């Protein structure tokens, strides 16, 4: 089935005539004022609006993130919203540097109730809105342009009158021409100018004009043009905080907000992780961290982002998507081999004091309180990089390169069988089974060693096929003597060792690559508190693997 033809049902949103637009050449060098509307726009979009306890928990989390303006509800809409505002004020829950905000329609009874809800507030933003776009004027209000302007002006006048009568509160006024994104620019300006003419803001006592993409209907460059146009044409611009409020209907709210700030916006309204009506409000966390990765501090704290997410998910009862920027479960995870390889090399070479340069990771997960362990995950698309990274990070095992290649085949076999992702524990289990298995033909028991300066003699007590045996040999060093004691055709091709852990718990890991009976080379691994014992165990590990592979070894005949 094809989608029906759209030409007769939908039309393109017209571009803005702004040939001398300046925003494309701008960069963002300072954060905007952030306003969280989680408790209003976010809350009104929930299947079940939050309880007072959840709202309070969410409020404290928003404060903890460092957001200084918080829209806490629509107090004329319900007793619950009214009571929550009262609770914040009466219980003195609002820190001195935080301002609460409330929304109201431009209707007299609603405005009166809204102002009542704020009695006793130290500072408050009263947010008035009415829709201005042609379709809303026609479909929702059945009003002319003049009548729509009159609603806004009357609402503003009443708020002015009511707030003037309560000078104990520091009042800030915000006006939103709702549906701005779909409105004629000259009319949006006309309404905003009419409102600011009533409020009479000054550079010392600014008002907020908030230009929402109530519904996102165009590409973000068009929204940026709309904002730049308003930025240039609004009356009393020096007395106005120009705010934007993008929704995400086309999935480009973050881009729209960023371009809008480049176009002159001073302030952004949104929600944490992008909750909100329909496809959501713009995600403040993504915006803030996008800035952070450009070297501009957003002035917000997401250093324990998982805690913030937990609160938001529990209060909203909506999970954050696993691929959500910065916070999703899978965003610091690489499954594919070439990504894992590059990330592993990046971490190894990253200068802790230098510029962040780990491939594929635009941000250091540690900055967000997320752990490196979550970075690499292994499934059938993965190469050796991921699995060896996990072994090193979790178990301190630093496999030499050729062993990595050999071992990755063993892990791949397991994944091909199960078809599932494996974690560090699973990988370690495969490693133990392959290299450290106690079930091999040879088992080390004990050894004695003599070094007379000209050579080394060893006597090794071992179990071979369940029977105790004593093996003796001499050589240039312990390993040479031990290989001689085995009486087999063995060539030592490569040898690596390193310590695991430190202090009294330290152990040694030895990796040997042997050619047994002229066959293909293979690795053995030994781990022990004693470095010599670890090397003997590594040789036996390789020999056992050779025997297991069904290759004939001279030892079998002995
Ligand atoms: C884009 C946004 O997010 S805007 C915020 C939206 N949020 C909410 O609506 C949540 C809270 N709202 C509510 O609980 C209710 O809508 C209330 C209590 C505010 C009002 O409820 P009601 O009185 O039943 O009115 P309702 O919401 O249905 O609004 C419809 C009426 O308000 C008028 N209206 C709508 N918006 C506005 C406005 N901003 N200013 C003035 N009048 C408005 C409509 O024209 C309509 O009038 P009509 O009945 O004469 O045709
Ligand atoms: C009230 C306004 C600002 C709003 O939420 C919107 O237009 O999306
Ligand atoms: Mg909104």
Condensed to tens digits (0 to 9), the pLDDT of residues 342-355 reads: 988 999 999 999 99
Q: Which atom of ligand 2 is nearest to the CA of 180?
A: 7
**Residue where the block lists tokens 């293909």:** 520
Query: Residue 557 pLDDT more than 50?
Result: no
Q: Would you say the CB of residue 245 lies under 6 angstroms from ligand 2? A: yes
**427 contacts 391 by C-beta, under 8 angstroms:** yes
Condensed to tens digits (0 to 9), the pLDDT of residues 158-179 reads: 999 999 999 999 999 999 999 9
Q: What is the mean pLDDT of residues 470-474?
A: 95
> What pLDDT, on the 0 to 100 scale, is given for residue 137?
97
Which residues hold their Cβ within 5 A of ligand 3, which is an ion?
41
Determine the distance separating the centroid of ligand 1 and the alpha carbon of 277, expressed in angstroms. Answer: 15
Condensed to tens digits (0 to 9), the pLDDT of residues 91-135 reads: 999 999 999 999 999 999 999 999 999 999 999 999 999 999 999
pTM of the model: 0.81
Instruction: Write the CB contacts of 159 (distance below 8 Å, at least 6 apart in sequence).
Output: 111, 115, 126, 128, 173
Say which residue, 38 or 501, is predicted with more confidence: 38
Domains identified in the chain and CATH numbers: 26-316 (3.20.20.70), 337-435 (no CATH), 442-557 (3.30.160.270)
Determine the distance separating the centroid of ligand 3 and the alpha carbon of 84, expressed in angstroms. Answer: 20
> What pLDDT, on the 0 to 100 scale, is given for residue 551?
46
Q: What is the mean pLDDT of residues 293-299?
A: 98
> What pLDDT, on the 0 to 100 scale, is given for residue 555?
39
Ligand nearest to the CA of 213: 2
Q: Would you say the CB of residue 178 lies under 6 angstroms from ligand 2? A: yes
Ligand nearest to the CA of 180: 2
**526 contacts 507 by C-beta, under 8 angstroms:** no
Q: Which atom of ligand 2 is nearest to the CA of 127?
A: 1
> What pLDDT, on the 0 to 100 scale, is given for residue 553?
38
The first and second tokens of residue 508, run together, are 């040694």
The first and second tokens of residue 39, run together, are 């408790």
Condensed to tens digits (0 to 9), the pLDDT of residues 38-97 reads: 999 999 999 999 999 999 999 999 999 999 999 999 999 999 999 999 999 999 999 999
**Residue where the block lists tokens 């916006």:** 265
**Residue where the block lists tokens 């959840």:** 54
Backbone conformation region of residue 290, classed left if phi is above 0, alpha if psi is from -120 to 50, else beta: alpha
**Residue where the block lists tokens 């094809």:** 2
> What pLDDT, on the 0 to 100 scale, is given for residue 375?
57
Rg (CA), the chain: 34
Query: Residue 262 pLDDT more than 90?
Result: yes
Say which residue, 175 or 424, is predicted with more confidence: 175
Q: Which atom of ligand 1 is nearest to the CA of 140?
A: 45
Q: Which atom of ligand 2 is nearest to the CA of 269?
A: 3
Using DSSP, state whether 208 is helix, strand or coil: strand
Residue nearest atom 21 of ligand 1, based on CA coordinates: 77
Whole-number average pLDDT of the chain? 93
Q: Name all residues whose Cβ lies below 6 A of ligand 1.
A: 41, 44, 74, 76-77, 105-107, 110, 129-130, 140-141, 151, 178, 214, 277
Size (the chain), residues: 558
**118 contacts 111 by C-beta, under 8 angstroms:** no
Range in 4-13, 320-329, 339-348, 525-534 with the lowest mean pLDDT: 339-348
Q: What share of the chain has pLDDT > 90, as a percent?
A: 82
Residue nearest atom 7 of ligand 2, based on CA coordinates: 214
Ligand nearest to the CA of 271: 3
Q: Would you say the CB of residue 309 lies under 6 angstroms from ligand 2? A: no
Q: Which amino acids are annotated as binding site for Mg(2+), given as ranges?
A: 41, 245, 247, 281
Condensed to tens digits (0 to 9), the pLDDT of residues 308-335 reads: 999 999 999 999 998 999 999 888 877 7
Burial (CB count <10 Å: 0-12, 13-18, 19+), residue 290: buried
Q: Which amino acids are annotated as binding site, given as ranges?
A: 41, 245, 247, 281
Determine the distance separating the centroid of ligand 2 and the alpha carbon of 390, expressed in angstroms. Answer: 47
Query: Residue 384 pLDDT more than 80?
Result: no
Determine the distance separating the centroid of ligand 2 and the alpha carbon of 413, expressed in angstroms. Answer: 55
Q: How far apart are the first and last CA of the chain?
A: 74
Q: How confident is the model at residue 214 (pLDDT cuts 50, 70, 90)?
A: very high
Q: Would you say the CB of residue 40 lies under 6 angstroms from ligand 2? A: no
Condensed to tens digits (0 to 9), the pLDDT of residues 534-554 reads: 999 999 999 999 988 764 433
Q: What is the mean pLDDT of residues 202-206?
A: 98
Ligand nearest to the CA of 49: 1
Residue nearest atom 15 of ligand 1, based on CA coordinates: 77
> What pLDDT, on the 0 to 100 scale, is given for residue 558?
35
Say which residue, 517 or 86, is predicted with more confidence: 86
CA distance 88 to 285: 24
Q: How confident is the model at residue 378 (pLDDT cuts 50, 70, 90)?
A: confident
């Amino acid at each position: 089935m094809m989608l029906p033809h759209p030409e007769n049902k939908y039309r393109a949103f017209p571009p803005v005539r702004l040939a001398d637009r300046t925003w494309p050449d701008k960069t963002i060098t300072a954060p905007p004022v952030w306003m969280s509307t989680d408790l209003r726009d976010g809350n009104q979009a929930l299947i079940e609006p939050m309880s007072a306890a959840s709202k309070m928990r969410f409020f404290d989390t928003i404060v903890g993130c460092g957001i200084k303006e918080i829209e806490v509800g629509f107090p004329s809409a319900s007793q619950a919203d009214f009571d929550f505002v009262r609770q914040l004020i009466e219980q003195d829950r609002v820190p001195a540097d935080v301002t609460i905000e409330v929304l109201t329609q431009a209707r007299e009874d609603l405005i009166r109730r809204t102002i009542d809800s704020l009695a006793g507030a130290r500072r408050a933003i009263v947010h008035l809105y009415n829709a201005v776009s042609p379709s809303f004027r026609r479909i929702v209000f059945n009003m002319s342009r003049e009548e729509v302007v009159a609603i806004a002006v009357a609402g503003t006048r009443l708020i002015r009158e009511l707030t003037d009568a309560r000078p104990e509160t520091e009042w800030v006024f915000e006006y939103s021409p709702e549906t701005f994104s779909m409105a004629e620019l000259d009319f949006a300006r006309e309404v905003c100018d009419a409102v600011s003419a009533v409020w009479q803001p000054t550079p010392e006592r600014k008002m907020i004009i908030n230009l929402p993409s109530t519904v996102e209907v165009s590409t973000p460059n068009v929204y940026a043009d709309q904002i730049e146009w308003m930025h240039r044409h609004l009356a009393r611009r020096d007395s106005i905080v120009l705010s934007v409020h993008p929704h995400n209907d086309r999935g480009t709210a973050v881009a729209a907000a960023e371009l809008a700030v480049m176009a002159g916006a001073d302030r952004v309204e949104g929600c944490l992780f992008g909750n909100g009506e329909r496809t959501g409000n713009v995600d403040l966390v993504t915006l803030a961290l996008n800035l952070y990765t450009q070297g501009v501090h957003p002035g917000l704290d997401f250093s324990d982002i998982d805690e913030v997410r937990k609160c938001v998910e529990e209060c909203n009862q909506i999970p954050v998507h696993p691929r959500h920027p910065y916070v999703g479960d899978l965003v610091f995870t690489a499954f594919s081999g070439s990504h894992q390889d590059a990330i592993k090399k990046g971490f190894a070479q990253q200068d802790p004091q230098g510029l962040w340069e780990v491939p594929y990771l635009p941000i250091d997960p540690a900055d967000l309180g997320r752990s490196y362990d979550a970075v690499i995950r292994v499934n059938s698309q993965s190469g050796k990089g991921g699995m060896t990274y996990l072994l090193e990070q979790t178990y301190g095992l630093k496999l030499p390169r050729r062993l990595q290649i050999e071992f990755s085949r063993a892990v791949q076999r397991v994944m091909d069988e199960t078809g599932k992702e494996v974690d560090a524990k699973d990988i370690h289990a495969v490693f133990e089974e392959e290299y450290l298995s106690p079930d091999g033909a040879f088992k080390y028991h004990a050894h004695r060693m003599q070094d007379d300066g000209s050579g080394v003699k060893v006597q090794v007590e071992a179990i071979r096929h369940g029977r105790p045996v004593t093996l003796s040999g001499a050589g240039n060093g312990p390993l040479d003597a031990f290989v001689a004691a085995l009486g087999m055709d063995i060539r030592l091709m490569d040898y690596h060792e390193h310590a695991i852990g430190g202090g009294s718990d330290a152990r040694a890991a030895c990796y040997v690559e042997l050619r047994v009976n002229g066959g293909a080379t293979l690795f053995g691994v030994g781990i022990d508190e004693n470095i010599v014992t670890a090397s003997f165990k590594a040789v036996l590990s390789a020999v056992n693997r050779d025997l297991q592979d069904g290759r004939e070894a001279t030892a079998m005949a002995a």
